[in-house]
Chain A
């Protein structure tokens, strides 16, 4: 079975540009999570969806960040405008019903110059 698929794997862009990160969860999983990982703060939950509906976005740092899940097989995390402090590795994870373990993608390494 295919795991969680994230794209792109690496993104380098200049500050002020819009960045879109993509995630395809494991088929049949109904919960999807977006995380950000940095050395200073570790792995932080940004937002999670259940059945395509955002449940908790309290971890989204500010209005520059937005996330959507238009259907069960696709989600995006958008940053507009991007800033150097947004540089981090962004992970997407999915899980099946009844609080089963989260399965992580391999992440997108984002560098904002």
Chain B
């Protein structure tokens, strides 16, 4: 089976812009979670989608949003980018609730 894929792998944006990241889960997986990884804060949970519904949300501002499509693919959007949003954004997929999460390679976002 193909693993979790994320596009794009690298992205450079400027402050105030918005960005959309994409994640395709492992075939058959219905849960997609997003994490932000930074040197200072480590890995922090953003949100989880299951069957097109947001099931859980971390402590991030409303500028961070996401959605999931009927084929389980997920997108994450960040509006009004700030310098502090520079990070590696990781997507993870799993079969269901409290299952093993399999991570994609990440999208590295740089905000200038």
Pair from one complex: no
Interface residues in chain B, defined as those with a beta carbon under 8 Å from any beta carbon in chain A:
none
